[in-house]
Structure 1
Amino acid sequence: MERTINQNSEVYRDDKMKHPKGLYLLFITEMWERYSYYGMRSILVLYLTAELISGGLGVDNASALRLYGTYTGLVYFTPLIGGYLTDRFIGLRTAITIGGITMALGDFTLFAVQEVWGLYLGLLLLIIGNGFFKPNISTLVGELYDKNDPRKDSAFTIFYMGINLGALISPLVAGFIYANLFYSNTGGVEQFGFKYAFLASSIGMIIGQLTFNLLSKKYLGTIGEKPAVQNSILDDENKAKPLSRNDKHRTAVILILACFTIFFWAGFEQAGASFTLYTRDFIDRTIFGYEVPVSFFQSLNPLFILILAPVVSLFWLRLSKTKRGDLAIPTKMALGLLLLGIGFLVLVPAVLYTGSDEGNIVARASMLFMVVTYLCHTLGELALSPIGLSLVSKMAPVKIASLLMGVWFLSNAGANYLAGYIASLTQEFGYLEIFLYLGIAAILVGLILLAISKPLQKLMHIDEIENPTRS
């Protein structure tokens, strides 16, 4: 069947094979936002810890890692507020525009003001902007489809590819800019072009917003223009109607799984924290006489995702056609935690070889250790993260959908703050202890989730979602 979004838009075709063109517009918009975020994130700790004379701020390692954790934690906290405001007062598309412009200003502030107050102002603008942008673009993807549309999981996989395309490109660009394009060595003093990497992030955000605002009317029509409480699918009866018993069960499952994701992301986000400093100081980064910039390693994760996501998706599809059937969502998430733990354990022999005292480096380890760790963490992410976004979009009651999406990202807030704190402990206890304990803890938490996966699956009431006429 076909339905027209509005008189000035293209016809939105609800067939079983094609995705609406609006999905690809959101793909591009999110790609540029992630380009902005990951470009800045990949060099933030390096910028903080570099000496003033080298273009940094001269912050000690432990303080820089805690600041990193605070920033990334707040980045994932503000979506809770942004989701609440969007549900009630502003449309999804307006929120995305407000967020995008604010983040572009944040990156530009980091470029223009190379002082501590400029750092805090820039990070504050990025935090506020992300609160409006992050939960609402994910919710807008879900709005393109009916509640039980079988294309929705595939849509979020495509959308997730956009996230990782931006995340792949940006550390390479940022690393090349700060370590090569604007690098100089005068009188034995190294000077890095950090501020120009921040400018590149701002430009990427501007490109994404221009694309979104110029094409949204054509490809999205009226979708996302009004707050959720004014949306036509929420009639007066539904606005006043309390959540059903099954809705409460599903909401509880979302909250429980969000708690488990805290453990995953607290480990995974070492990529921008302890992994950055360990790679800088203990990993042999020389290939054929060229020293690979530290930020390049943060492109490994999105590169592996772009390569492996189709393979993993095909594996899940093939598994679903077997007699046993596909794995339950909680089981897949437990698998993600187990892979995270294995990734940390891979680094243990590397630390035993190099030592963990930055003032007394015994040797430098092969970069293959970091490559394998990122590979394990990427496989864990593919088992856990894409289905999380789809889970909230599919299972959340409509009238609190953006709020629950914000709650989902709130778990990332706690995880990122925790990640920064854990990373700072490497300066006190050493990398060996932290990597070993993180690996063991992730495996134990994964086993706990695996043990309770069946009861959680029952509380999700999947049959009712897939076959709403039975409810």
Structure 2
Amino acid sequence: MANFDKQKIVESVPQKGFFGHPKGLFTLFFTEFWERFSYYGMRAILVFYMYYEVSKGGLGLDHTTALSIMSIYGSLVYMSGIIGGWFADRIFGTSKAVFYGGILIMLGHLCLAIPGNVTLFFISMVLIVLGTGLLKPNVSSVVGEIYSEEDNRRDAGFSIFYMGINLGGFLSPLIVGSVMDYSFHLGFGIAAVGMFFGLLIFVFTKKKNLGLAGTIVHNPLSPAEKKKVYTIFGAAVVVLAILIGIAIPTGYLTFDSFIALVGILGILIPTTYFIVMYRSPKTTAVERSRIIAYIPLFIAAVMFWAIQEQGATILASYADTRTQLEFAGIEISPAWFQSLNPLFIIIFAPMFAWLWVKLGKRQPSVPQKFSLGLLFAGLSFLVILLPAYFGGADALVSPLWLVLSYFIVVLGELCLSPVGLSATTKLAPAAFSAQTMSLWFLSNAAAQAINAQLVKFYTPETEIMYFGIIGGASIVLSIILFVLAPKIQSYMKGVQ
């Protein structure tokens, strides 16, 4: 997208009207609030739904299999962002991608709300994966479009947007977790209603608040290209359906083989994207330098998310099986712990946003902020190994240990995640704007694809070694990144 087009979009958006930020931030804030309410409400009870016995309303899957499926599902959700980014960049723009994605997500949650079997469960997963792939990266890309590149409010705006994400993520596990023992399906139905509200807000406020943001197709397909792409896409769907139809009955496609395949794709897809963007004739010399700078940031993000996302798998299971669920006379639902991460972000995101604005040019560089994120992530895992070290693997532990672990990783998340979103919009090659945002979410996909293998090594007996090795690796990578920060910054060519 040319600089003229970027400026034209910024001028079409009312630049004041939402806490001193562009008015369009209101629309995007509340659209993402309800989408995250929907997603995190569903995710808070999903792993329990999978491994709880059928007599308790669950699917009765093996515990380790449920944890692996949870990681693979999370990986596919973020991996599908590449498809959503491509459709936005080449066919219908980010605004339509957000709308179509919201519809698919709502339908997926409605499928989960219907009492059924494993088949219906997987149909819902496909719908939610595809819908989130369309919505999630593209709504973040629109946030980047409503600010000029020189606007000092940009990082603060992403922090406010990030707080909206987590406000939805805080409320939904409390509500959905409260009805979990009564009915998993009622909880999934509440998630579907949340996505419906998000669609309403987006549809009825986008014209007035967003102007041209999200409406321009940055790198449209020519008519000849469209015909070729649609032909290839249709053929690929047919071939894939045939292969799946053959592979499942013959035993070639199993849970284990599928998990391994997603693990390979989690590494292969982002690697391919980096190569394609770097070698594209549409990428300038300055943009190529910025792609080089983005690679170590991406690797750091993978390490961070590998720890943070285990809050919904290993730590969720830890809350259910290893934690004392009565505290101060209150019976605690294990799903409620999923509200800790967004709660701490709601509290501390404004402080971090204020801090970056206050420090101005004296604030840490982007690579340095990433290194701080990794440091806190590693410490959060070292903290959670202490209960087993002091009390053994059999005793139920105080819920305060989980609270402390979630708190520490949130400090890292606020150093890395909103900063990463903002840096991605500034480092992205113009021809790959939405797709680069999808690439940022692929760091999460790669992390969860790796986690699908890692969770197999977790048992109460290996708890100390599991948390210690992963946490220690994050701290070592943090130190390496901090040392390399000045060199990485030089490759960013003026992006701060």
TM value normalised by structure 2: 0.83
One of 374, 379, 383 as aligned partner of 1:337: 374
Alpha-carbon distance, 1:283 to partner:
1.1
- For 1:442, the aligned partner's letter is S
Per-residue deviation, residues 366-414 of structure 1 (Å, max 9, x unmatched): 1111111111000010111110000011221222111111111111101
Per-residue deviation, residues 173-232 of structure 1 (Å, max 9, x unmatched): 1111113xx2xxxxxxxxxx111111011110011001111111121233212311259x
| 1:243 maps onto 2:283 in alignment | yes
Instruction: Classify 1:16/1:102 alpha carbon distance in 2 versus 1 (closer, same or farther; 3 Å).
Output: closer
For 1:11 and 1:381, locate their aligned partners in 2 and report how far apart those are by CA, in whole Å: 29
Instruction: Classify 1:428/1:420 alpha carbon distance in 2 versus 1 (closer, same or farther; 3 Å).
Output: farther
List alignment gaps of at least 5 residues for structure 1. Answer: 183-192, 232-239, 467-471
Trace 1:299-318 onto structure 2 (pairs within 5 A).
Answer: 299-318=339-358
Residue aligning to 1:103: 105
Contact 2:41 2:172 in 1 (8 A): yes
For 2:332 and 2:120, locate their aligned partners in 1 and report how far apart those are by CA, in whole Å: 29
Residue aligning to 1:82: 84
- For 1:121, the aligned partner's letter is I
Instruction: Classify 1:92/1:173 alpha carbon distance in 2 versus 1 (closer, same or farther; 3 Å).
Output: same
One of 341, 344, 347 as aligned partner of 2:384: 347
Residue aligning to 1:208: 198
Instruction: Classify 1:274/1:248 alpha carbon distance in 2 versus 1 (closer, same or farther; 3 Å).
Output: same
- For 2:26, the aligned partner's letter is Y
Alpha-carbon distance, 1:91 to partner:
1.5
Per-residue deviation, residues 305-326 of structure 1 (Å, max 9, x unmatched): 11111222333344447xxx21
Contact 2:13 2:22 in 1 (8 A): no
Instruction: Classify 1:5/1:143 alpha carbon distance in 2 versus 1 (closer, same or farther; 3 Å).
Output: closer
- For 1:316, the aligned partner's letter is W
- For 1:440, the aligned partner's letter is G
Counting matched residue pairs gives 432
One of 275, 296, 306 as aligned partner of 2:315: 275
Secondary structure of the structure 1 residue equivalent to 2:21: coil
> What RMSD, in angstroms, separates the aligned Cα atoms of the two structures?
2.3
More helix by share: 2
One of 351, 370, 378 as aligned partner of 2:410: 378
One of 196, 205, 213 as aligned partner of 2:186: 196
Contact 1:91 1:228 in 2 (8 A): yes
| 1:218 maps onto 2:208 in alignment | yes
Contact 1:254 1:408 in 2 (8 A): no
One of 135, 138, 144 as aligned partner of 2:137: 135
Per-residue deviation, residues 50-93 of structure 1 (Å, max 9, x unmatched): 00010001111110011011100000100011101110101211
Alpha-carbon distance, 1:279 to partner:
1.2
Same amino acid, percent of matched pairs: 37
Alpha-carbon distance, 1:353 to partner:
4.0
Contact 1:49 1:59 in 2 (8 A): yes
Contact 1:339 1:377 in 2 (8 A): yes
Secondary structure of the structure 1 residue equivalent to 2:216: coil
Contact 1:113 1:119 in 2 (8 A): no
- For 2:370, the aligned partner's letter is M
- For 1:436, the aligned partner's letter is G
Trace 1:69-468 onto structure 2 (pairs within 5 A).
Answer: 69-179=71-181, 182=182, 193-229=183-219, 242-320=282-360, 325-356=362-393, 361=394, 363-427=395-459, 430-462=462-494, 465=495
For 1:143 and 1:11, locate their aligned partners in 2 and report how far apart those are by CA, in whole Å: 9
Per-residue deviation, residues 240-281 of structure 1 (Å, max 9, x unmatched): 974222211112222331121111100111100010111111
Residue aligning to 2:27: 25
For 1:16 and 1:71, locate their aligned partners in 2 and report how far apart those are by CA, in whole Å: 35
For 1:16 and 1:150, locate their aligned partners in 2 and report how far apart those are by CA, in whole Å: 16
For 1:367 and 1:448, locate their aligned partners in 2 and report how far apart those are by CA, in whole Å: 33
TM value normalised by structure 1: 0.87
Instruction: Classify 1:295/1:11 alpha carbon distance in 2 versus 1 (closer, same or farther; 3 Å).
Output: closer
Alpha-carbon distance, 1:287 to partner:
2.1
- For 2:385, the aligned partner's letter is V
Secondary structure of the structure 2 residue equivalent to 1:12: coil
- For 2:134, the aligned partner's letter is F
Contact 1:157 1:386 in 2 (8 A): yes
Contact 2:94 2:139 in 1 (8 A): yes
